[in-house]
Structure 1
Amino acid sequence: MRLLALASFVALTAAAPAPAPVLSSTATDPVPSATPTDTEPGPPLQLKAASISDVANLGFATLNGGTTGGAGGNVTVVSTLSEFTAAVSEKNPEPAIVVINGTIVGDAKVRIGSNKTIIGLPGSGFVGVGLYFKRQRNLILRNIVASFVEAKNGDVLGIDGSTNVWVDHCEFYSSLAADKDFHDGLVDATHGADYITISHTYFHDHWKGSLVGHNDDNAAEDQGKLHITYANNHWKNVNSRGPLFRFGTGHIYNSMSTGINTRMNAQLLIQNNVFRNVPLPITSRDSREVG
C-alpha cells in the first residue's frame, strides 16, 4: 500500500519493551565540542510517540547534514519479506518511508538503500532477517524488534561504510543457549561508518552485542571516523561488546550497560551509566593498544 507522505501522518507508539533507565544529565564536566549531545542538567525528557516524519534529534547522527531518512518520500506498508526487500532496495536511492506491519520471518540478508526510514507498527519487526546498510547514507530504523539472525546472514543490523544512521526505540536479541558464533553481532558499525546514533534501544540475551571497528589493523579506513552516540539504551544478559570500540569517537550515556571495552586509540566520553554485577564495567583489553 503506497501513500503520499505529505498526505498521511501515522503516529506510532514507541516500542520500548525494556525498562531502560532514562536518567537526567547531571554531569558537571564539559563535553568536548565535537560531541553534539545535550549536557545541560535537568529532568528527564518526556518521550513522545514516534512518527514517520521524525528526524534524528540527538547525537552524532545530527551532524554531517543530519539524518532525515525517507522524509518527504512515499510511504509503503509491508508485511512480507518480498514486499520489504522491494521497498528498501539499494538500487533505488529515492526517499521512502517503509512501515513494517507484523513480524517478517525469513532466512536472508537484505541490503537497504540510502534515504530510507524503516519504522515498525507496535511489536513489528523481523526474525532471522539480517538488515545491511552497505556504503549507503541517511538511514533511520525505529520501533523494530529483530532477533535470531544466523551468522551466515550477518548481524541483526550491519552498518558497513555507511554514514548518517539513526537507530531508535528498537529491540535486538537472540539466545545465550546457542553457540557464541551461531549468531554474529546485534548492531555492528565497521569499515569507516560514521555519524551514527543508537538510542532508546534494548539489547539482550546475546553473546556479542555491538562492535565498532571490526579489526585492529583497519586504522587506515577507520581512523577519524566511527563517530557514534549510544544514548538511553538498556543492555541485559549480553556477554560482551556493550559496546566495544576500536579507533572511533563515542559518547555513551544514560544507559544500563554490561561493560564497555575501548581499544586501539578509541576515544570515549562515558557519562551517567549504570553497571550491575559487572566485574569490569569500563576496560581496555584484548588489543595491542589501549583506547
Structure 2
Amino acid sequence: MRRRKDRGTRSMLAALATTVTAIVIWALALVTMPSASAATLFGDDFQDGDAAGWSRSGGSWSVVADGSQALRQSGTSADARAVAGAGWSDQAVQARVKPIVFNGSGRNVAILARAQSTSSYYFLGLSNSGSVVLGKRTGGGLVTLASAPTTVTTGTWYTLRLEAFGTTLRGFVNNVQVVSATDTTYASGRAGLAGYYASASFDDVLVTDVGGPSEPPTTPTVTPPPPGTCSTSGTPIGFASVNAWGQSGTTGGAGGSTVEVDTASELISAIAQSGPLNICVRGMITVPAGMYNVASDKTIVGIGSNAGISGGGLNIGLPVDDAITSPPATAVNNIIIRNLSFRNANDDSINVQMFSHHVWIDHNDLCCGYDGLIDIKRGSSYITVSWNHLHNHTKNMLLGHDDGAGAQDIGRLKVTYHHNWLNQTPQRNPRVRFGEPVHVFNNYYYYNTDVGVACQANAGCMVEGNYFDRVEEPVSNSYAGPTGRCVARNNVFVNESGQPDCSGSVQEPSTYYSYTLDDPNSVKALVTAGAGVGKI
C-alpha cells in the first residue's frame, strides 16, 4: 500500500489536514453487514506528487494541487480510465471525487471495482443528468444496473464508495447507500477511476476488503429500531449518570409528552419550550444559519437513520457571562441528544456552555461544520459523549475554551468520552483545559493527523482502552500552552501510531461512577459497527 509521507511538523500536518475529507469505512450493523474490521488493500492520496502504479487509458492524467495533491483527469474529449492494485474479489473502493467539466449529456465521473482492464469493470458514477449510476462495462458501452436521483454540482467534492462482494454491488454517496444491484459478470479485479468525457479530480483512494452477506458478523449485531419509530429510552454511562448539582442522572424529557417535528420552525419552537418534552425529529431539517437554544429537560432524538439538522446548530446553555464563577440555579440541564446527523453548521454543531450540566450526546453522526462539532466550555459538567461518529472536520471537540478561563472551569468540565469513532478529525479529539477527571475510554481513533487527546492547562485526563490507528501523536500533555496531566493505560497503537506523551497523576473516574472497559483490541470492530445513527 502507498501511504502519505511523514510531514515532520505539526504545522505542516495541520495545514494539510484542513483540506482532507474523511475516508469513511461504513459498516452496517446488521447480520448481513460486511466485517467492521476490514483490512486495507490499497491506498493512494497522491501526496508524493506522482501517479506511479496507475495504468491509464485515454484522457490527460496528472497530479495537481487541488486543496491537497490530487489526481486530475483534465481532458473532456475522451473516455478516460485509470486502474491500480491487484485482482481482488470482495472489495470496497472509495475515493473523493470532484467533477469539473462535463462534455455533452449523459457523461459521468466514477470509481471502478473489479476492473479486468480499462474496458471491463463495475462503476459507480456521478452523472450530469442529475443521478448516481451503478453499472458495468463489458468492452463496449456502459450498462446501467441501478440509478438514483442526486444533485451533482461541478466544483464540489463527493465521497463515492462502491462495494462488491459475492454477486452484490452497493453504491454510497457521502456515506449514504443510494443504489444496489446484483450481477455475476466479474468476480474479481482491480480498482479504478474514470472520467467519461468529463474532467475531474480524484483524491484519497482507499480499497479495503469487505465480507459478503453470507459471512457471520465478527462483532455483536445491533438491531436498529423499526423505521418510523422514535426511541426515547436509554441510560448513559459516565458523568451524565452521576448524582450532582441537584440532578440525579440524565433523563431528558422523561415524564413529558412526545412531539414529532419535521420543519425548522417546529424544531426551534419545541426545543425552546419549558418543561420536560420528548422531541422526535423526522428527516433532515435545514434550519437558518445560527445557534438554537435548548431548554432544560429535553430529549431530542432522530427517527430511523435519516434524521438530522443542517445549516445551524444546537446551543445548550445560558448567554455568556464571564463574571459568573459558580453554577447558577437557572443553568440549563438534563438534555439528551441522540440519533441525529449534523451537517454544515455555520458555527458549532453542538455547543454546551455556562455551567450546563447532565447532558448526554449519544449515537450521532457529525461532520462538515464551520467551528466545533461538540464544544463544551465555561464551567459545564457531568456530561457523557458516547457512540458518536465524528468525521470530515478539523476542529472536532473542544473542552474548555481558553487558558484564562480557570475561574469558571477549575473543578468542573467533568466529561466522559467513550466508544466514539474519531475518523480523520485532525485535532481537538478532545482538546482539554482544566477539566478533571476527563475520562476518554474505548474510542476508535483513525488517522488524526495533528493530535489525538491534548490535555493542557492543568487538566487531568484518564485515557484508557482506546484504539489508535495511524495517529502520530495519540496523547499529549505538552501540545500547546500550559501543560496538563494525563495517564494513558491499556491502549492499542497500530499502523505507525506514536506513543503517549504523558506525566502526572489524575483522579480515578471510578470514584464517580462504575464502568466496564471493553478489550481495546476489539474496540475498532465494536465502534465502527455500533457508532453513529440508526443503532439505538
Fold in common (TM above 0.5): yes
> 2:60 aligns to what?
none
Q: Paired residue for 1:271, among 464, 474, 483?
A: 464
TM-score w.r.t. length of structure 1: 0.78
> 2:339 aligns to what?
143
> 2:360 aligns to what?
166
- Confirm or deny: 8 A CA contact 1:52 1:97 kept in the other structure: no
The 1:118/1:247 distance shift into structure 2, 3 A limit, reads same
Q: Distance in 2 between matches of 1:82 and 1:269?
A: 41
1:93: Cα distance to partner?
Answer: 2.8
1:68: Cα distance to partner?
Answer: 0.0
Q: Distance in 2 between matches of 1:18 and 1:213?
A: 31
Matched to 1:262, the amino acid is C
Matched to 2:249, the amino acid is G
1:289: Cα distance to partner?
Answer: 2.8
> 2:454 aligns to what?
261
Q: Distance in 2 between matches of 1:254 and 1:280?
A: 17
Runs of 4+ in 1 over 3 A off after TM superposition: 17-22, 44-53
Does the alignment pair 1:200 with 2:387?
yes
- Give secondary structure in 2 for the equivalent of 1:215: coil
1:46: Cα distance to partner?
Answer: 6.8
- Confirm or deny: 8 A CA contact 2:283 2:306 kept in the other structure: yes
Q: Distance in 1 between matches of 2:299 and 2:336?
A: 5
Does the alignment pair 1:100 with 2:281?
yes
> Which range moves more in the overlay, 155-164 or 257-266?
257-266
Matched to 2:414, the amino acid is H
- Give secondary structure in 1 for the equivalent of 2:310: strand
Cα shift readout 1:198-256 (whole Å, capped 9, x = no counterpart):
11100101010000000111111101111111110001111200111111121111111
1:265: Cα distance to partner?
Answer: 1.2
TM-score w.r.t. length of structure 2: 0.43
Matched to 1:77, the amino acid is E
- Confirm or deny: 8 A CA contact 2:460 2:484 kept in the other structure: no
> 1:71 aligns to what?
254
Counterparts of residues 242-257 of structure 1 (less than 5 Å): 242-248=429-435, 249-257=437-445
1:270: Cα distance to partner?
Answer: 1.1
- Give secondary structure in 1 for the equivalent of 2:424: strand
Q: Paired residue for 1:215, among 402, 409, 427?
A: 402
- Confirm or deny: 8 A CA contact 2:290 2:346 kept in the other structure: no
Q: Paired residue for 2:237, among 28, 34, 58?
A: 58
Q: Distance in 1 between matches of 2:222 and 2:379?
A: 31
- Confirm or deny: 8 A CA contact 1:96 1:117 kept in the other structure: yes
Structure 2 residue ranges without an equivalent (≥5): 1-24, 30-34, 37-218, 318-330, 486-536
Q: Distance in 1 between matches of 2:256 and 2:360?
A: 17
The 1:120/1:190 distance shift into structure 2, 3 A limit, reads same
Matched to 1:207, the amino acid is T
Cα shift readout 1:42-65 (whole Å, capped 9, x = no counterpart):
xx8875657634243311100121
Q: Paired residue for 1:283, among 473, 476, 488?
A: 476
> 2:308 aligns to what?
125
Q: Distance in 2 between matches of 1:48 and 1:252?
A: 26
Does the alignment pair 1:229 with 2:416?
yes
Matched to 2:313, the amino acid is G
Q: Distance in 2 between matches of 1:252 and 1:47?
A: 23
1:290: Cα distance to partner?
Answer: 2.6
The 1:222/1:46 distance shift into structure 2, 3 A limit, reads farther
RMSD: 2.3
Matched to 2:237, the amino acid is L
- Confirm or deny: 8 A CA contact 1:18 1:202 kept in the other structure: no
- Confirm or deny: 8 A CA contact 1:207 1:239 kept in the other structure: yes
Does the alignment pair 1:81 with 2:264?
yes
Q: Distance in 2 between matches of 1:208 and 1:169?
A: 19
> 1:35 aligns to what?
none
- Confirm or deny: 8 A CA contact 2:383 2:416 kept in the other structure: yes
Give the structure, 1 or 2, with the largest relative contact order (CA under 8 Å, sep 6 or more). Answer: 1
Matched to 2:390, the amino acid is F
- Confirm or deny: 8 A CA contact 1:55 1:67 kept in the other structure: no
- Give secondary structure in 1 for the equivalent of 2:312: strand
1:172: Cα distance to partner?
Answer: 0.5
Q: Distance in 2 between matches of 1:143 and 1:204?
A: 16
- Give secondary structure in 2 for the equivalent of 1:85: helix
Q: Distance in 1 between matches of 2:237 and 2:258?
A: 24
Q: Distance in 2 between matches of 1:188 and 1:289?
A: 20
> 2:427 aligns to what?
240
Matched to 1:75, the amino acid is T
The 1:216/1:186 distance shift into structure 2, 3 A limit, reads same
Q: Distance in 2 between matches of 1:143 and 1:53?
A: 10
Matched to 1:113, the amino acid is A
How many residue pairs align between the two structures? 244
- Confirm or deny: 8 A CA contact 2:457 2:481 kept in the other structure: yes
Q: Distance in 1 between matches of 2:26 and 2:365?
A: 8
Q: Distance in 1 between matches of 2:26 and 2:239?
A: 24
